[in-house]
Amino acid sequence: MNMKKFKRRLQRITPGGRQLVIGVPFLWLFLFFMLPFFIVLKISFAEADVAIPPYTEIYSYVEQKIQLLLNLSNYVMLSEDELYIAAYLGSLKMALVSTVLCLLIGYPMAYAIATARKEMQTVLILLIMMPTWTAILIRVYAWMGILSNNGLLNGFLMTMGWIDEPLQILNTNLAVYIGVVYSYLPFMILPLYANLVKHDNSLLEAASDLGSSTFNSFWKITIPLSKNGIIAGCMLVFIPVVGEFVIPELLGGPETLMIGKVLWQEFFNNRDWPVASALAVVMLAILIVPIILFNRSQAKEMEGKE
Amino acid sequence: MKRFSFSSLMLVLGLLFIYLPMLILVIYSFNASKLVTVWGGWSIKWYVGLLDNTQLMGSVVRSLEIACYTAVAAVILGTLAAFVLTRITHFKGRTLFGGLVTAPLVMPEVITGLSLLLLFVAMAQMIGWPQERGIITIWIAHTTFCAAYVAVVVSARLRELDLSIEEAAMDLGARPWKVFFLITIPMIAPSLGAGGMMSFALSLDDLVLASFVSGPGSTTLPMEVFSAVRLGVKPEINAVASLILLAVSLMTFLVWYFSRRAEEHRKRAIQQAIDESAADSWKQPDIRRAPAPASV
């Protein structure tokens, strides 16, 4: 009797299959992806301290009073120090220019793949996909050997007699652009291809029957139809590049100011966790609109709606 | 016609741009000369030298271990997430859930890394766990962002799946979890394999997240490579990098091979079903493939 009651009560509080299926990934992502941002936000209001962990607590409980002490000096410093502002601007410029470059190079490539024979498409897409699985570190490292002063590129140019002394490419912004476009090009091509391959050819045929030039129908039909692919590709390049660390660190020089590198230095070299947190919060604030845009396009894609 | 030739030219140039640097790297890893820019004949001495480097070998083992755990956990978590996103269309917080699943794809790694580390530090203070950071914390970090990739791959497969098979099983009285394990899982198995391989590769490659959440004594292979690379190009690093490239391309090839085999098997099965039910043709399972695009 009692047992039955207990069982029924237990059934009421134990989650059903549906809740479990939703709950497990939700809880994981909430705990290890969302909650940490709030901790970053909290620590960005703390002060650096020589302690373990190296920051002060922002609230205290003394004599039945809870005191919340928000220290805004990190943010004030970010807005006043030209280094940080320059780093944010540098990152945004780097991300913007490389996104445009990736789009200009990637669109024709994705188009060529989408219009190739079916068997060829699988092989080509695999060739594009493989580098995305390979460490960015290694692909960037490959460029270090090519671009350095006594590297292959300069050696080649000098043997051909085109230049007399080596060009300084490694440790400049140019090298970072090359590295970023090189590393992120596949991330532009994949969503573009996924979009372009679904296009209905009959629209283009109809346009050409009605006398539209190839370029005109490309511009007025193919490009507008591939809008979602363009958005997804651009966001997949732009957002991570803003926070990129490895490429500017290895290929860039003193003139390369990027926020990911500054955050890394604040955290690992200066051990100033509150400033690093404030840098992350501001970066996230800048990126929140692009991230929401990306999530929207991804959600549409996942539900299979157009 | 002009546009076709232009885009094909771009494709060839683009592929050269992508693969030439890697090819050069592999060739130079066989360079006998200690000077990385001078060619001194073929040699495998840098590869042999790697075996004696116990510190490096230790980090390889550690990285492989983490990558295995990550692949398993990310496939489970990512599949659940994909299932929720494609099959359970209405529940509270669905938009938030969708955002949480896909945001790790684009979130800059320095932000994710920093925030996870601060979480672990806060947790250690409040509940005393994790006492020290190492394999487990790196595994959690990697699982979180690899699950997003798995969710994208698996949800693409789940979407194109014929729902009627699952519905038929339910109509015949199978419980939802039984349908999921006996019908859904086998049908999406190739994409689970692809997602697992992908997670394995991504975890093996990651530098930034691991640098933030690892503790003393738990250096992974990319961290080891990075600290060497910072000092410049070295022949030993060329060898390590080539081996990683080899491993990843092998894995990509395997994924491609198995998914192609599964696809062919599926097509053959569908064809067989069509042949067998030629009489009542209206019952045919529709072949969910786009018409082949006109070839160039």
In the structure encoding, which two tokens stand for residue B158, read together? Answer: 């789940």
Structural domain boundaries, residue B122: 68-216
Calpha distance A290→A234 (Å, rounded): 9
At residue A253's C-alpha, the angle toward residues A248 and A255, to 5°, is 100
> Helix, strand or coil for residue B95?
helix
Chain A positions in Cβ-Cβ contact with residue B89 (cut-off 8 Å):
303
- Beta strand ranges found along chain B (DSSP E): none
What pLDDT is attached to residue A206?
Answer: 86
**Chain B interface, mutation test: which of A30, A189, A266, A302, most B Cβ atoms within 10 Å?**
A302
Fold observed for domain A73-304: MetI-like fold (1.10.3720)
Out of A22, A32, A142, whose CB is closest to B24?
A: A142
What pLDDT is attached to residue B295?
Answer: 42
Segments in chain B below pLDDT 50: 1-3, 289-296
Residue B272 lies in a domain: no
What pLDDT is attached to residue A276?
Answer: 93
CA distances to A25, A33, B123 from B131, in Å: 25, 20, 9
Chain A positions in Cβ-Cβ contact with residue B10 (cut-off 8 Å):
105, 108-109, 112
- Is A233 within 8 Å of A124 (Cβ atoms)? no
Asked whether the beta carbons of residue A135 and residue B205 sit closer than 8 angstroms, the reply is yes
What pLDDT is attached to residue B1?
Answer: 42
Asked whether the beta carbons of residue A250 and residue B230 sit closer than 8 angstroms, the reply is yes
In the structure encoding, which two tokens stand for residue A129, read together? Answer: 């996909």
Phi, psi of A133 (to 5 degrees): -90, -10
Asked whether the beta carbons of residue A303 and residue B86 sit closer than 8 angstroms, the reply is yes
Residue A177 contacts by C-beta under 8 Å, 6 or more apart in sequence? A94, A97, A98, A101
Residue B207 lies in a domain: yes
**Chain B interface, mutation test: which of A128, A170, A295, most B Cβ atoms within 10 Å?**
A295
Phi, psi of A167 (to 5 degrees): -80, 140
pLDDT digit string, tens, across residues A22-41: 888 999 999 999 999 999 99
- Is A182 within 8 Å of B18 (Cβ atoms)? yes
More confident residue, A283 or B240: A283
Residue B18 lies in a domain: no
Chain B positions in Cβ-Cβ contact with residue A234 (cut-off 8 Å):
none
Residue A26 contacts by C-beta under 8 Å, 6 or more apart in sequence? B93, B97, B100
Query: Which residue in A199, A177, A184, A197 sits closest to A128, CA to CA?
Result: A184
Out of B176, B225, B292, whose CB is closest to A137?
A: B225
Calpha distance A233→A240 (Å, rounded): 12
What pLDDT is attached to residue A249?
Answer: 92
Q: Is the peptide bond before B104 cis (omega within 30 degrees of 0)?
A: no
Calpha distance A213→B123 (Å, rounded): 63
Residue B262 lies in a domain: no
Looking at the complex, report in whole angstroms how far the Cα of residue B279 sits from the nearest Cα belonging to chain A. Answer: 31
Would you list the domain boundaries of chain A? Answer: 17-68, 73-304
CB-based contact (8 Å) between B36 and chain A? yes
Calpha distance A274→A78 (Å, rounded): 12
pLDDT digit string, tens, across residues A290-306: 999 888 888 777 665 44
In the structure encoding, which two tokens stand for residue A284, read together? Answer: 């996230």
pLDDT of A163 > 50? The answer is yes
CB-based contact (8 Å) between A129 and chain B? yes
Total domain count for chain B?
1
Query: Which residue in B196, B194, B189, B198 sits closest to B265, CA to CA?
Result: B189
Residue B63 lies in a domain: no
CB contact residues (below 8 A), chain B span 15-34, against chain A: 15, 17-19, 21-22, 24-25, 28
Calpha distance A225→A228 (Å, rounded): 8
**Chain B interface, mutation test: which of A28, A33, A287, most B Cβ atoms within 10 Å?**
A33
Looking at the complex, report in whole angstroms how far the Cα of residue B239 sits from the nearest Cα belonging to chain A. Answer: 11
Enumerate the H helices of chain A as residue ranges: 2-13, 17-29, 35-43, 73-80, 82-114, 118-133, 136-147, 152-159, 173-196, 201-209, 214-217, 223-225, 227-242, 246-251, 259-264, 273-303
Average pLDDT, chain A: 86
What pLDDT is attached to residue A96?
Answer: 96
At residue A264's C-alpha, the angle toward residues B216 and A273, to 5°, is 75
CB-based contact (8 Å) between A202 and chain B? no
CATH code of the domain containing B203: 1.10.3720.10
Residue B186 lies in a domain: yes
pLDDT band with cut points at 50, 70 and 90 for residue A7: low
- Is B267 within 8 Å of B252 (Cβ atoms)? no
Looking only at the bridges linking them, the beta strands covering A65-68 and A59-62 are: antiparallel
Residue B181 lies in a domain: yes
CB-based contact (8 Å) between A151 and chain B? yes
* Cβ neighbours, 10 Å, residue B217: 10
CB-based contact (8 Å) between B67 and chain A? no
pLDDT band with cut points at 50, 70 and 90 for residue A186: very high
Residue A208 contacts by C-beta under 8 Å, 6 or more apart in sequence? A214, A217
CA distances to B58, B138, B226 from B132, in Å: 19, 11, 23
Give the residue-averaged pLDDT of A209-222.
84
Asked whether the beta carbons of residue A53 and residue B99 sit closer than 8 angstroms, the reply is no
- Is B152 within 8 Å of B159 (Cβ atoms)? no
Out of B140, B155, B198, whose CB is closest to A32?
A: B140
Q: Which amino acid is at B206?
A: D
Calpha distance B202→B91 (Å, rounded): 31
CB-based contact (8 Å) between B86 and chain A? yes
Calpha distance B77→B64 (Å, rounded): 20
The DSSP code for B42 is B
Q: Which amino acid is at A176?
A: V
The reported pTM is 0.86
Calpha distance B138→B210 (Å, rounded): 6
- Is B204 within 8 Å of B67 (Cβ atoms)? yes
Burial class, B215, CB count within 10 angstroms (exposed 0-12 / middle 13-18 / buried 19+): middle
pLDDT digit string, tens, across residues A238-263: 999 999 999 999 999 888 899 999 99
The helix (H) or strand (E) run that includes residue B135 is helix B135-160
